[in-house]
A and B are shown apart, each in its own frame.
Chain A
Amino acid sequence: MLPKVLVVAVGNPDRADDGVGALAATGLAGRLPPDVSLVARRGDILSLIEEWAGFDAVIFIDAAASMGMPGRIHRIDAGAGELPNEVSFASSHAFGLAEAIALAAALRSLPDTVIVYAIEGASFDGGAAMTPEVTAAAAEVADRVVAEVGRLRCREGKVMSDA
């Protein structure tokens, strides 16, 4: 039996590089197996927690603050604890993906596999255009997510059939 996989593109397409998740989702259209779910979210990230509860694996695509190289792609295995440890619910205005994953983990409703593709952005200004490096990264992330889904289905499918 194949694992249930969810791909979530996070971010606001109207805020320059924050739209990289939505752009990558456009690039994924028609390239994922029909039983893999693909959703884009720009609103309340807390509502995600209930959505991913029934899945074996979830892959997030989101923009990240710049660390000096716009368009650089980071693959984070959140299920293996690669997200920051000291995440707290400091403010409902500052609630982001890391906090949502930490909250889901505390609630023991995190899927076994959680991969985050974080793309460094340079501009998050309202109405501004996406920077060219980030636009290019969206296409590469889409390719990597297609490959990631393939690996997950192959690996998890084998584990599940062995069990």
Chain B
Amino acid sequence: MADKTTKTIRVDYLARVEGEGALDLEISDGRVVSAELRIFEPPRFFEAFLRGRGYAELPDIVARICGICPIAYQMSAVHAIENAFGVKVDGQLRALRRLIYCGEWIESHALHVVMLHAPDFLGFPDGIRMARDHGEAVRNTLTLKKAGNELMRVVGGREIHPVNVKAGGFHRVPTRSELAPVAESLARARDLAIGMVRWVATFPFPDFEQDYEFVALRHPDEYPLNEGRLVSSRDIDIDIADFETEFEERHVAHSTALHSLVKRRGAYLVGPLARYALNFDRLPASVRELAREVGLDSVCRNPFKSIIVRGLELVFACDEALRLIAAYEPPDLAAVPIEPRAGTGFGCTEAPRGICWHRYDFQADGSIERARIVPPTSQNQPTIEADLAAVATTVLDQPDDVIRHRCEQTIRNYDPCISCATHFLKLTVRRT
């Protein structure tokens, strides 16, 4: 009988993700016995220091949770405020919210697809070294990102941590003439995004699929951004207010971010693959055709192909922003009046990385009594670990650096924002 061998592969600090984390992989007798995504970024206590703050401060405070997806936090927060105070925002104000969300998706997806994720498939250590051989793709990404920035600046007041969002609407709404040059940039960006989808679809993809439980918002008419019911690919179909009846967060010793689970079953997946699988029929026909053209079915279970789905969502975001700008008529009021009252409000919107769920208990004066924020990366953590164990199993006979690379790539499939989740990667592989 062969001697028992133990092998440990460690990645101490994961690059090309947001925040600080590590991976410990333990292999015993040629079998993966544990795969732990260790998140060691210190907790940031946002929920604690929101207590006692007024509702009007909420959108600007939660925006600071993330520099890449501040709109997701702002939107979930303002929806929760309006839900608690019985206010409905619709018409052009609702459309403007969708528009600014498109800006965030464009910025985030463009950056991740080309600068953070593509180097994994093409054998480069990072986007800078990739730029020497793939200059056109990188230049196109900068143009795409710039279009997203423009949209954020015109609707949100500035590119990073926008300051124009408030409960009830906006502090100021843009004019049609301010949006006209943005539309020109977006039209070009859309063409570049289509080219990006065709490019990434040619990458070599590992033959790997998982039977995920996809979870995303679903709206009667739209590809989801701000609104919808919370549905899953199994049997979940609930109002966002019922999130806590189906889902729970658990503390695990190796992570400062909580793990989210479906109470009855366990790990689930949020983000582009889930949105796409549950809302393929809500995408514009042109995006659906592009998906077919690059060989993607209406459901994609290969997490490495999330790069293609992110690209398709990038095309959608450009399309949707152009549609909203074409139909835009400045509303008479920049915001619906708000009257605070005691109560609980819920908000759930689709951050680039997946659903971002908020719950706030307000006192009669509108101050926050309790806050609970469930960001997308913490929801994906158990699924990331399941993927890691399964992916590592397929490359166990390979040298450690191959295992390490494939594991890092697996984590980057999720575009994780660890800063949000704790508010990455150190890989340790132990072989016994």
Bound-state CA distance A50–B143 (Å) is: 8
Known A-B contacts A87-B128, A106-B128; A92 and B142 likewise in contact (beta carbons under 8 Å): no
B328 to chain A minimum Cβ distance, whole angstroms, is: 24
A107 touches B146 (CB 8 A): no
A50 touches B142 (CB 8 A): yes
How many residues on chain B are close to A (CB under 8 Å)? 31
A93 touches B67 (CB 8 A): yes
B160 touches A44 (CB 8 A): yes
B116 touches A103 (CB 8 A): no
Question: Per a CB cutoff under 8 Å, which of B16, B67, B145, B419 touches A47?
Answer: B145
Stretch at the interface among B29-37, B76-84, B130-138, B226-234: B130-138
A50 touches B146 (CB 8 A): yes
Judge whether B125 is part of the interface by a CB distance below 8 angstroms: yes
Bound-state CA distance A71–B15 (Å) is: 32
A142 to chain B minimum Cβ distance, whole angstroms, is: 26
Note all chain A residues with C-beta closer than 8 A to B314.
Answer: none
Bound-state CA distance A106–B127 (Å) is: 10
A47 touches B128 (CB 8 A): no
Most chain B C-beta atoms within 10 Å of own C-beta, residue among A50, A89, A93, A107: A89
B15 touches A106 (CB 8 A): no
B158 touches A43 (CB 8 A): yes
B125 touches A47 (CB 8 A): no
Kindly state the interface size class of chain A when it binds its partner.
10 to 19
Q: How many A-B residue pairs have CB under 8 A?
A: 70
Judge whether A18 is part of the interface by a CB distance below 8 angstroms: no
B68 touches A93 (CB 8 A): yes
Judge whether B72 is part of the interface by a CB distance below 8 angstroms: no
Judge whether A99 is part of the interface by a CB distance below 8 angstroms: yes
Bound-state CA distance A102–B131 (Å) is: 10
B143 touches A91 (CB 8 A): no
Which B residues, 355 to 389, have Cβ-Cβ distances below 8 Å to chain A? Answer: none
Known A-B contacts A50-B142, A93-B18, A93-B67; A88 and B149 likewise in contact (beta carbons under 8 Å): no
A18 to chain B minimum Cβ distance, whole angstroms, is: 14
Judge whether A139 is part of the interface by a CB distance below 8 angstroms: no
Which A residues, 79 to 138, have Cβ-Cβ distances below 8 Å to chain B? Answer: 87-93, 99, 102-103, 106-108
Bound-state CA distance A91–B131 (Å) is: 16
Known A-B contacts A90-B126, A92-B115; A43 and B142 likewise in contact (beta carbons under 8 Å): no
Which A residues, 23 to 59, have Cβ-Cβ distances below 8 Å to chain B? Answer: 43-44, 46-47, 49-50
A92 touches B111 (CB 8 A): yes
A90 (CB) vs chain B CBs: closest residue: B15
Judge whether B159 is part of the interface by a CB distance below 8 angstroms: yes
Note all chain A residues with C-beta closer than 8 A to B129.
Answer: 88, 106
B132 touches A106 (CB 8 A): yes
A89 to chain B minimum Cβ distance, whole angstroms, is: 4
Question: Per a CB cutoff under 8 Å, which of A43, A50, A103 touches B131?
Answer: A103
A92 touches B138 (CB 8 A): no
Bound-state CA distance A102–B116 (Å) is: 16
Bound-state CA distance A44–B153 (Å) is: 11
B148 to chain A minimum Cβ distance, whole angstroms, is: 9
A to B CB contacts below 8 Å, 27 in the list = A43-B149, A43-B159, A44-B149, A46-B142, A46-B146, A47-B146, A47-B159, A49-B142, A50-B142, A50-B146, A88-B15, A89-B115, A89-B116, A89-B127, A89-B128, A90-B15, A91-B15, A91-B19, A92-B67, A92-B111, A92-B112, A102-B128, A103-B127, A103-B128, A106-B132, A107-B135, A108-B135
Apart from the given pairs A88-B126, A106-B129, A106-B131, 15 other A-B contacts in the complex at a CB distance below 8 Å: A43-B153, A43-B160, A44-B159, A44-B160, A47-B159, A87-B128, A88-B128, A89-B128, A91-B15, A91-B19, A92-B68, A103-B131, A103-B138, A106-B138, A107-B138
